[in-house]
Amino acid sequence: MRVIPLGALMALAAIALPACQASAPAPKAPPAQNTAALPTMERIALAANRCWFKSGDAAFKPYRMAPELNSFSGRPRILLVHRGAPEARPLAVVQAEGHPARLQAFGPLFSQDVGPRMTGDIRRWANGDTGC
């Protein structure tokens, strides 16, 4: 009968044990949503453009969106203006600043019939929802 030294036996065990374990990689956590002002406003601008304007929504037909995301003031924003007068005073402003983003939404459009819907949409999009 042959005796195997204890050190050799432990080395064999160290090599053999990992082979017995499951080789499936651990599931990755979903990427954390960036809550800084710019990424938040980018999400809102993309969703607003898709859901309010490109969809042909009649409530937003008289308006157009003017994104101002490259803000040197640290407050990226989007403006809703009259379609025929983009240089006129904005009817709605949505802006954010800080990390996490602090949102502000104001303007006369928010006190009209479409205002509560806009507020609800903006809140959802700021929290990561992408639906219309």
pLDDT of 72 reads 77
Q: Is residue 66 part of a domain?
A: yes
**Domain span holding position 99:** 37-126
Contact between 62 and 74 under an 8 Å Cβ cutoff? The reply is no
Helix (H) or strand (E) segment spanning residue 67: strand 63-68
Give the burial class of 105: count Cβ atoms within 10 A of its Cβ; 0-12 exposed, 13-18 middle, 19 or more buried: buried
pLDDT at position 86 is 83
- Percentage of the chain with pLDDT > 90? 64
pLDDT, mean of residues 103-131: 96
CA-to-CA separations, 115 to 4, 31, 91, 107, 111, in angstroms, rounded: 81, 32, 11, 10, 6
Report the alpha-carbon distance of residue 62 to residue 92 in Å, rounded: 13
Round the average pLDDT of the chain to a whole number and report it: 83
CB 125 within 8 A of CB 47: yes
Residue 28 lies in a domain: no
Q: Percent of the chain beyond pLDDT 70?
A: 75
Residue 99 lies in a domain: yes
User: Which residue carries 């640290």 as its tokens?
Assistant: 74
Our count of domains for the chain comes to 1
Distance in angstroms (rounded) separating the CA atoms of residues 97 and 75: 5
Residue 90 lies in a domain: yes
- Is residue 80 in some structural domain? yes
Residue 44 maps to a domain: yes
User: Residue 65 — very low, low, confident or very high, per pLDDT cuts 50/70/90?
Assistant: very high
- Phi, then psi, of 58 in degrees rounded to 5: -60, -30
pLDDT per residue over 8-37, tens digit each? 444 444 555 444 444 445 444 444 567 899
Q: Is residue 21 part of a domain?
A: no
pLDDT at 67: 93
> What is the structure's pLDDT at 33?
65
**Interval 66-99: pLDDT, tens:** 999 987 778 999 999 999 998 889 999 999 999 9
